[in-house]
Amino acid sequence: MRQNRHVREITSAGKTHPLAGVYGAAVTPFDAEFRPAIDELPRLLDFLASRGCHGALLLGTTGEGPSCSPGEREAIMRAAAGWRTARPDFRLLAGTGTPSLEETSQLTRLAFDLGFEGVVVLPPYYFRNASDEGLFGWFNQLMEKAVPRDGYVMGYHFPGTAGIGFSLELIRRLKDAFPQQFAGLKDSSHDQEFSETLGQKFGRNLAILSGTDSHFLHALEHGAAGCITAPANLLSPELRSIYDSYREGLDSSEMQARVSRERLALEHFVPFAPTLKAILHRKHGLPLWSVKPPLRNVSEDEVVQAIEELEAAA
């Protein structure tokens, strides 16, 4: 691959954030009764670690976190922390955002007590017209109640699904108020212009983790620190190749084009969680895990079609 001097200079210009890298937005194993299949979680995490992921986000959108009770979330987090004792270099993030400040605080404290590197927090998504002042007050309380001085909070910017996101002014206020603890943003806006603006306004002072595989290289070129994506459950080797090549100053545009085609193929079969679980079973031999209602398991015909389209894209 040819070297790209501009990329190399950008890469070497700033210090790498401790959360930088490629993360799988991990699916959650559920049994046929929709209970967390705790004993099977290590197998999934082993799989992600073996395929180049620096870490995993548990209980995000793809992990069906909003469908889990606090007790289920706790069981999943404790199982992951137990597994990580044998894989200390693999980073763990937990999705802890709920509309309830108290519940979010309890889950966030638990994640840090268990040794997770960080949490990814949606804004309280029921009141979609909440002001920036109100959202800042909510996060201010979360930081004071639940986040240690060395803990990292990533805002989860997913307005298309959550109905509410982070304005640039809210991001600035949170970073000014909590320069260490407010580490950055998981940007699932799928908006390249917003990604560019984040880089222009905040540079490398924020760790931006892209949520869109097809924009990954573009995000890196505009200051992103890595990615957290649902297709990383399947595409992590390709995403890791893009990340490593970029950091080495090499051209990864061909690999990015392949990933973009694969992401587009998977977008024909959304929501991602049931399709990813079916493909992980068919192609990689993992158990066939259920999804919680209101999601539904995909049919045999659907998974065959998804695999065919994914392979054609690759």
Distance of CA 252 to the CA centre of its chain: 21
- Would you say 26 and 65 are in contact if contact means Cβ atoms under 8 Å apart? no
Side-chain half-sphere exposure of 211, counting CA atoms within 13 A? 25
Distance CA 314, CA 138 (A): 43
How much of the chain is helix, strand and coil, in % rounded to 5?
A: 50, 15, 35
Distance CA 154, CA 108 (A): 12
Tell me how many degrees the CA angle 62-166-271 measures, rounded to the nearest 5.
Answer: 20
Q: Which of 130, 132, 70 is nearest to 95 (CA)?
A: 70
User: CB count, 10 Å around CB of 152?
Assistant: 22
**Backbone φ and ψ of 102, nearest 5°:** -65, -45
- Would you say 169 and 139 are in contact if contact means Cβ atoms under 8 Å apart? no
Q: Which of 116, 111, 121, 126 is nearest to 182 (CA)?
A: 121
Cα-based distances in Å from 294 to 37, 67, 162, 252, 271: 18, 9, 16, 38, 11
Distance CA 217, CA 246 (A): 8
Question: Which residues form the catalytic set?
Answer: 61, 126, 156, 186
With H, G, I as helix, E, B as strand and everything else as coil, classify residue 56.
strand
